[in-house]
Structure 1
Amino acid sequence: MAKILCVLYDDPVAGPPASYARDGLPHIERYPDGQTPPTPSAVDFTPGELLGSVSGELGLRRFLEERGHTLVVTSDKEGPDSVFDRELADADVVVSQPFWPAYLTAERIARAPRLKLALTAGIGSDHVDLEAAIRHGVTVAEVTYCNSISVAEHVVMMILSLVRDYLPANRIVHEGGWNIADAVSRSYDLEGMHVGTVAAGRIGTAVLRRLKPFDVHLHYTDRHRLPREVEEELGLTFHPSAQDMAPVCDVVTVNAPLHPETEGLFGDELLGTMKRGAYLVNTARARIADRDAVVRALESGRLAGYAGDVWYPQPAPPDHPWRTMPHHGMTPHMSGSSLSAQARYAAGTREILEAWLDGTPIREEYLIVDGGKLAGAGAHSYSSGSKA
């Protein structure tokens, strides 16, 4: 029998919701590229309920315990005395989320001799040291595409919020004010701007598609160039690198995985080449941007705004400078954890566990590392040397 160690974020401060704002969720038949949503044999949860926090347990307990397996769920993941570290020693499977990552470092993997599967409930497995997983024969999988559109919607929301300066205007209302000049003094139209994405995978392409109706000029850079018909359909300009693209854009959105080629990409040098008053949105991974360089760029006016929901470390400490820097639109890491997305990534987690426990193949598109090498989505998105 297997021991599954599941690390999820804390329940709401006031406890799990007694009711929800909406009844049910729209049914999604297929993702935009034709991939089907998760197809587990069954689910033991109500779609649209809070599943990603500790009490939600991703709807896994009944399924696992009826099969005789052990499920340990915790939010305590930091330090040698954490529940995560204590339980890791004899865990067969670790389930974690990008929103509340249990960092599976090389040291932790070495201390977990039974560990065979590191499963991300969501997308983005950079909290796992992939090189260590390869060395120790650990399969790494994630629920590919389950929340890509959720993140893309969040990106578009943040771009509009920054350019139109929505958050300060909303704050004026909360504070009882009405000064229109204050409300519009940093507000612009997105129309006509040049907007570029670093990476045009599922999320980046979805962002481009959603921005096209705003009559903007669209740009992208990616190590895999899009088909010509997609470039022509969306009116895209391709750039061979972020260094080539960033200087021509009014807005840059980062939708790339974290790996050695992207870590620290937006530092003083690249930010210094961007247009004065450009906007940067990063819902990918915090370490793609240099923390202090972003603060300096906002304080100097090089950047007119920065928004995102990814931090390092996560959760961010109270004194993290991104909490108090000017002209930001930061949120906790939530873009891919809407209640809609939770239903999909919980179902996908069960689908992967069913396959692993039954000894049947895990969907190729869910795989990041398998058989001692990068595989599936991992071979497309990551590069050798990727670490937590």
Structure 2
Amino acid sequence: MKLRCAVLDDFQSAAATATDWAPVADEVERVSFTEHFTSEDELAAALADFDVVVTLRERVAFPASLLARLPRLRLLIASGMRNSVIDLTAAERYGVTVCGTASSSAPPVELTWALLLGLARNLVTEANSLRDGGPWQSSVGADLHGRRLGLLGLGKIGSRVAAVGLAFGMEVSAWSQNLTPQRADEIGVTLAVSKEDLLATSDFVSVHLALSDRTRGLLGAPELALMRPTAHLVNTSRAAIVDQQALLTALHTGTIAGAAVDVFDTEPLPAGHPLRTAPRLLATPHLGYVSQANYATYYGQAVENIRGYLDGTPVRRLGGA
């Protein structure tokens, strides 16, 4: 009898074509779910008859309570090599092997700039106005050349965002709790004196930090109030780094000129959520890692992970039995 493999949140039905599943096709039946499950009860019911689950990033949590309700589950594969929403200790206890995949930093870098440019030039508003027969030129865009880009985080993604900013002729500064002058010099950017200084002096602020206890809620109402009323905020990292209610308030009151976000506390974003209609906001449905090359890597290595598990030699293990 074949093992059954569930592919979660395959919104575009891309899993089947992103890679070749032939290496496991004789032993594994793949089933894609194109709709998101919003509760643990729904997940437990849908996945009860599956031995393998493939999930994207950290969109679906697998706490101990859910793993306990999936006695048939033996292999859990998440894209990326870091996942904060899978209880690895519980997975080991219940005999579930957890594996990850590689990922590229290119897609989120590219999307960061797509959002920043779209925000600066009001592209969505202007494009929609043109299509709808509205005013011809209704806004005046913000310039990038000569303006200051402030980066919260200068890691693999932040450093590549910095390189593009420098190419645009921007002044680029960066801050994080562990950022050293040597690292800033290596990338060619200015080390901000403090987080507060970066926020107060930047025309564009972009978040590129990992979510942790230290970064959760890093930007709240006091921090957003430090930003210039002409400044823009971009977050393609993790929603919880920016206090969502504080962001909504800042957008409604005009504390900042605008924001662009690709990440949310709850994904998919519920219908009627206030972020769907917030003023001064450019929002996209977590497209940062949604690209042809990344999907080929994710699903291709998921197949490799399944093959390794079937052969008794699991690869890219994050934890588990």
Quote the offset at 1:233 in angstroms. Answer: 4.9
Quote the offset at 1:155 in angstroms. Answer: 0.1
**Match status 1:191 vs 2:145:** yes
Could you tell me which residue of structure 1 aligns to residue 55 of structure 2?
96
Could you tell me which residue of structure 2 aligns to residue 86 of structure 1?
45
1:112-137 deviations in Å (ceiling 9; x for gaps): 34545432235763343456457657
1:196-244 deviations in Å (ceiling 9; x for gaps): 222222222221122220111212234554683x633542123486445
1:144-192 deviations in Å (ceiling 9; x for gaps): 333x201110001111111222222222211224443x232xx110112
Within the candidate set 37, 41, 51, 2:14 is matched to 51
In 1, the alpha carbon distance for the partners of 2:31 and 2:47 equals: 10
SS in 2 for 1:154: helix
Distance 1:179 1:151, change over 3 A: same
Do the aligned partners of 1:104 and 1:128 also contact (CA within 8 Å) in 2?
Answer: yes
Q: Give 1:287-326 correspondences, 5 Å limit.
A: 287-326=240-279
Quote the offset at 1:296 in angstroms. Answer: 0.7
Distance 1:131 1:196, change over 3 A: farther
Within the candidate set 78, 84, 89, 1:126 is matched to 84
Within the candidate set 85, 97, 103, 1:145 is matched to 103
Could you tell me which residue of structure 2 aligns to residue 380 of structure 1?
none
Within the candidate set 74, 82, 105, 2:33 is matched to 74
Could you tell me which residue of structure 2 aligns to residue 212 of structure 1?
166
Quote the offset at 1:90 in angstroms. Answer: 5.7
Could you tell me which residue of structure 2 aligns to residue 65 of structure 1?
25
Distance 1:242 1:10, change over 3 A: same
Could you tell me which residue of structure 1 aligns to residue 122 of structure 2?
165
Could you tell me which residue of structure 2 aligns to residue 8 of structure 1?
9
In 1, the alpha carbon distance for the partners of 2:167 and 2:45 equals: 51
In 2, the alpha carbon distance for the partners of 1:202 and 1:97 equals: 20
**Match status 1:202 vs 2:160:** no
Q: Which moved more, 1:90-99 or 1:104-113?
A: 90-99
Within the candidate set 143, 154, 169, 2:111 is matched to 154
Distance 1:104 1:170, change over 3 A: same
Q: Give 1:168-183 correspondences, 5 Å limit.
A: 168-180=125-137, 182-183=138-139
Could you tell me which residue of structure 2 aligns to residue 232 of structure 1?
185
Do the aligned partners of 1:252 and 1:281 also contact (CA within 8 Å) in 2?
Answer: yes
Distance 1:116 1:267, change over 3 A: farther
Aligned AA for 2:159? T
1:245-273 deviations in Å (ceiling 9; x for gaps): 32332211112232322222222122122
In 1, the alpha carbon distance for the partners of 2:277 and 2:286 equals: 17
- Structure 1: runs of 5 or more not aligned: 12-49, 373-388
Q: Which moved more, 1:348-357 or 1:296-305?
A: 348-357
Could you tell me which residue of structure 2 aligns to residue 385 of structure 1?
none
In 2, the alpha carbon distance for the partners of 1:248 and 1:57 equals: 46
Aligned AA for 1:98? R
SS in 2 for 1:360: coil
Quote the offset at 1:87 in angstroms. Answer: 4.4
In 2, the alpha carbon distance for the partners of 1:241 and 1:361 equals: 44
Do the aligned partners of 2:102 and 2:297 also contact (CA within 8 Å) in 1?
Answer: no
Report the TM-score when normalising by structure 2.
0.85
Could you tell me which residue of structure 2 aligns to residue 349 of structure 1?
302
- Structure 2: runs of 5 or more not aligned: none
Report the TM-score when normalising by structure 1.
0.72
Quote the offset at 1:312 in angstroms. Answer: 2.4
SS in 1 for 2:139: helix
In 1, the alpha carbon distance for the partners of 2:89 and 2:202 equals: 35
What's the RMSD between the two structures over aligned residues? 3.0
In 1, the alpha carbon distance for the partners of 2:78 and 2:8 equals: 10
In 1, the alpha carbon distance for the partners of 2:231 and 2:97 equals: 41
Give the paired residue count. Answer: 319
Do the aligned partners of 2:44 and 2:70 also contact (CA within 8 Å) in 1?
Answer: no
Do the aligned partners of 2:263 and 2:285 also contact (CA within 8 Å) in 1?
Answer: yes
Distance 1:201 1:3, change over 3 A: farther
Distance 1:238 1:352, change over 3 A: farther
Do the aligned partners of 1:137 and 1:370 also contact (CA within 8 Å) in 2?
Answer: no
Aligned AA for 2:154? A
Do the aligned partners of 1:5 and 1:87 also contact (CA within 8 Å) in 2?
Answer: no
Could you tell me which residue of structure 2 aligns to residue 339 of structure 1?
292
